């Protein structure tokens, strides 16, 4: 049975994030940083040596997190070169695993999705992978993918290179993609909210309106959380306020348009993750003592000393906890960064009570980076 939008329900019971693909200026260097700093493992490679003449792509994993780091192998690779020239190193593709690519794609088109690549099948001796892609934001893609008939490391065109890369250091305890956050232009949020919800049959489960009015002290942004039926695909959309300087407007300026601002990775032990990541050279956004004093007054049973020691934010919701921390931008522009989260006792929120502390601290950090 289909729902009123014409989407097969089973697609949404199993749908989940698959891989995230970055377009960068020099793939091998970005891969090295993810391996050395974040504890990823290099699994497979695609490039001129494997029959892909215009690009070099590395498939790297950390538990259930799958990333593809891609760079142009020659100047004529205009799609990659032009993306990096305009946006800097950043995310190009967000892949979502579905059961039936062709059916999902056709119904998505009926519900308003913009096609980029129609359903097609890649094959090699390990089997076949079916995929298609839809437009997202200015220069991004939603990839629909199904691996049910494939037994290889990733997809056709990739060869295993695990023996060529050493693993580094302690386990960073990063487990899976928790959510994806996107920065949008003024007046874009409703457009993309409807677009995502119609494609994925997701729902807007949270809204945080901090747009300034009547002289109130607001941080100048509108945020909405979109969640799939099975709660595995969570997209956070953020739009700046009119004529208000914020980290969202700074992203738009330095990224030259809308795009994916950060990816949140979940951790089974955020304090171990942060300790290990810091030792690996990862820098995090810091928060003022006043945040922890307010938190202690509001929740006296929390171990504030531990939170402050590691610079971790905390939100409490009906006895459940959310721990979260944000890296500084990982590239040269004040754009893309990572978030690390840990959900305790089935916390299902998104730390909206921490928004003020986060935005004020990140704006200080990002503005400093944009000047230096």
Mapping DSSP onto H, E and C, the string for 120-172 reads: EEEEECCEEEEEEEEEECCCEEEEEEECCCECCCCCCCCEECHHHCCCCCCCC
Backbone angles phi, psi at 70, to 5 degrees: -125, 135
- What local confidence, expressed as pLDDT, does residue 216 receive? 65
- What local confidence, expressed as pLDDT, does residue 151 receive? 95
Q: Cα separation of 253 and 268, whole Å?
A: 35
Taking 3-state DSSP, the helix, strand and coil percentages for the chain, each rounded to the nearest 5, stand at 30, 35, 35
Residue 90's closest CA among 42, 44, 178, 21? 21
User: Is residue 122 within 8 Å of residue 156, measured between CB atoms?
Assistant: yes
- With tokens 């938190």, the residue in question is 295
57 forms bridges with which residues in the sheet?
Answer: 46, 70
- What local confidence, expressed as pLDDT, does residue 247 receive? 81
Structure tokens at 274: 């942060």
Helices 355-371/247-255 angle, 10° precision? 40
Q: Which residues 6+ apart lie within 8 Å of 216 measured at CB?
A: none
- What local confidence, expressed as pLDDT, does residue 295 receive? 86
Instruction: Report pTM.
Output: 0.90
- What local confidence, expressed as pLDDT, does residue 7 receive? 47
323 forms bridges with which residues in the sheet?
Answer: 314, 342
- What local confidence, expressed as pLDDT, does residue 371 receive? 56
Domains of the chain and any CATH numbers:
9-164 (3.10.180.10), 174-371 (3.10.180.10)
- What local confidence, expressed as pLDDT, does residue 231 receive? 83
- What local confidence, expressed as pLDDT, does residue 340 receive? 96
Q: Cα separation of 121 and 210, whole Å?
A: 45
Residue 340's closest CA among 302, 293, 285, 298? 285
Q: Cα separation of 261 and 276, whole Å?
A: 24
Please list the pLDDT of the chain residue by residue as tens digits (372 residues).
344 444 445 555 568 899 999 999 999 999 999 999 999 999 999 999 999 999 999 999 999 999 999 999 988 889 999 999 999 999 999 999 999 999 999 999 999 999 999 999 999 999 999 999 999 999 999 999 999 999 999 999 999 999 998 877 789 999 999 999 999 999 999 999 999 999 998 999 988 887 766 666 667 789 999 998 888 888 999 999 887 777 888 899 999 999 999 999 999 999 999 999 999 999 998 888 888 888 888 888 889 999 999 999 998 888 888 999 999 999 888 899 999 999 988 877 666 667 766 666 555 655 565 555
Give the CA dihedral 234, 79, 69, 334, nearest 10 degrees: -70
């Amino acid at each position: 049975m289909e729902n009123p939008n014409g989407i097969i329900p089973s697609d949404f019971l199993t749908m989940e994030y698959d891989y995230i693909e970055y377009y960068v200026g020099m793939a091998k260097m970005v891969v090295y940083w993810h391996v050395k700093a974040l504890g990823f493992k290099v699994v497979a490679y695609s490039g001129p040596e494997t029959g892909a003449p215009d690009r070099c792509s590395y498939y790297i994993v950390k538990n259930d997190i799958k990333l593809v780091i891609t760079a142009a192998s020659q100047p004529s690779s205009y799609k990659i070169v032009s993306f990096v020239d305009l946006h800097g190193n950043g995310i190009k593709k967000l892949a979502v695993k579905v059961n039936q690519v062709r059916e999902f794609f056709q119904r998505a088109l009926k519900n308003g999705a913009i096609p980029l690549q129609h359903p097609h099948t890649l094959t090699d001796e390990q089997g076949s992978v079916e995929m298609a892609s839809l437009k997202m934001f200015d220069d991004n893609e939603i990839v629909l993918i199904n691996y049910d008939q494939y037994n290889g490391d990733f997809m056709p065109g990739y060869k295993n290179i695990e023996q060529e890369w050493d693993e580094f250091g302690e386990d960073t305890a990063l487990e899976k993609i928790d959510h994806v956050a996107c920065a949008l232009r003024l007046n874009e949020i409703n457009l993309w909210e409807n677009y995502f919800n119609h494609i994925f049959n997701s729902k807007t489960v949270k809204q945080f309106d901090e747009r300034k009015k009547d002289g109130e002290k607001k941080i100048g942004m509108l945020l909405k959380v979109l969640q799939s039926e099975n709660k595995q695909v969570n997209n956070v959309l953020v739009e700046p306020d009119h004529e208000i300087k914020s980290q969202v407007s700074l992203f738009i300026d330095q990224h030259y348009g809308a795009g994916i601002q950060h990816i949140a990775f979940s951790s089974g032990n955020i304090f171990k993750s942060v300790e290990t990541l810091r030792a690996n050279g990862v820098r995090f956004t810091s928060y003022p003592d006043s945040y922890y004093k307010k938190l202690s007054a509001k929740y006296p049973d929390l171990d504030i000393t531990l939170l402050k020691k590691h610079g971790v934010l905390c939100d409490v919701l009906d006895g459940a906890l959310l721990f979260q921390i944000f890296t500084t931008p990982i590239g040269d522009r004040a754009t893309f960064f990572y978030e690390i989260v840990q959900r305790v006792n089935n916390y299902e929120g998104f730390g909206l009570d921490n928004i003020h502390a986060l935005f004020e601290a990140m704006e200080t950090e990002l503005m400093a980076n944009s000047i230096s």
